[in-house]
Amino acid sequence: MARRYRIRARDFGPRTRDLSSGTLRAKLLVSIVNAHDEKRLKEILDDCSVGLSYQISGEGTAQSAVLDYLGIGETEKTVLFSVFPESDEERILRILRHDMSLYLAGRGISFTLPLSGISQTVAEGITGAATYKSIEGRNIMTSKDRKYDLILACVGANFADMAIDAARSAGAAGGTIIRGHAMENAKAEQFVGISLLKEQEILFILSKKESTAAIMQALSDRVGAQTEAAGVIFALPVDRTAGISAAEEEAFASQQGDAL
């Protein structure tokens, strides 16, 4: 019989904090913006809240046309990962929409992902500086409230075009590519039964939940583990978004009002 383990908050020890309950709540903000706009985005984040941020360069090509979500005039992108206090979430996204003009095509997108744990030192520092110290229960996202998923497809170098074509065939509007490499995965490869290509391209696709399964299946068929691309595809839940479409931004504004 398989053993079941239950992890309690105190099992994390003094250095990490479970985020499933309590007031020390933090989230991850992912922002994909045009090159050189990341400085302005970080300034806004620091002005209205506090965020611990990391930057990655992203690339697209005219042939791949992976800029549908972001516009088509610029191929160089910057991906920012920022840890921030959850109580500031709605305010951050509202200000980013306004000050970064994310409702305009080509300006970028931002979305938040839930975290299940974080370093206690970071949590205390970030949440201690939060503009709003508490979170109303109705503002905590649940599975039924989420409309989007983040699909990540890690494929061998030079297979990104094939991956985006497959995703589009299943309804994806576009994505963003960053380049990386697979580490030494001999043990995992032995059990999974595949051999990963060293040079990798990682495709980020923001998908509506109802389309996620079809997009992932199309990716698996064209660039999955059993193909020449030796791809690994997975999805993460997305909480809130900014900059997805003008229609959705207008709907948000009508619900929230224009006040910042």
> Is there a domain that residue 6 lies in?
no
Q: Is the dihedral of CA 70, 142, 28, 203 positive or negative?
A: negative
What's the per-residue H, E or C state across 112-164?
EEECCEEEHHHHHHHHHCCCCCCCCHHHCCCHHHCCEEEEEEEEECCCHHHHH
> Is there a domain that residue 133 lies in?
yes
Domain that holds residue 233: 148-238
> Is there a domain that residue 5 lies in?
no
CATH number of the domain within which 233 lies: 3.30.70.120
Could you tell me which residue, 80 or 139, shows the higher pLDDT? 80
Where helices occur in the chain by DSSP H, the ranges are: 38-48, 89-99, 120-128, 160-169, 186-192, 209-223, 246-256
Q: Which residues of 81-110 are buried (b: 16+ CB within 10 A; e: fewer)?
A: ebbbbbbbbbebbbbbbeebebbeeebbbb
Same domain? For 205 and 251 the reply is no
Same domain? For 127 and 175 the reply is no
Q: How many domains does the chain have?
A: 2
> Is there a domain that residue 42 lies in?
yes
Same domain? For 193 and 234 the reply is yes
Same domain? For 32 and 90 the reply is yes
Q: For residues 120-146, give the mean pLDDT.
A: 72
Same domain? For 26 and 153 the reply is no
Same domain? For 175 and 191 the reply is yes
> Is there a domain that residue 3 lies in?
no
Q: Are 178 and 75 in contact (CB under 8 A)?
A: no
Mean pLDDT of the chain: 75
Residue 76 is predicted with a pLDDT of 78
Whether the per-residue pLDDT at 7 is higher than 70: the answer is no
> Is there a domain that residue 73 lies in?
yes
Whether the per-residue pLDDT at 120 is higher than 60: the answer is yes
Q: Strands 232-238 and 148-156: what pairing?
A: antiparallel
Same domain? For 195 and 155 the reply is yes
pLDDT tens across 207-247, in order? 999 999 999 999 999 999 889 988 889 999 999 998 875 54
Tell me the Ramachandran region of residue 80: left when phi exceeds 0, alpha when psi lies from -120 to 50, beta otherwise. Answer: beta
Same domain? For 127 and 35 the reply is yes
Same domain? For 130 and 250 the reply is yes
Residue 101 is predicted with a pLDDT of 82
Same domain? For 19 and 105 the reply is yes
> Is there a domain that residue 170 lies in?
yes
Same domain? For 46 and 128 the reply is yes
Whether the per-residue pLDDT at 161 is higher than 70: the answer is yes
Same domain? For 110 and 152 the reply is no
> Is there a domain that residue 88 lies in?
yes
% of the chain at pLDDT higher than 70: 65
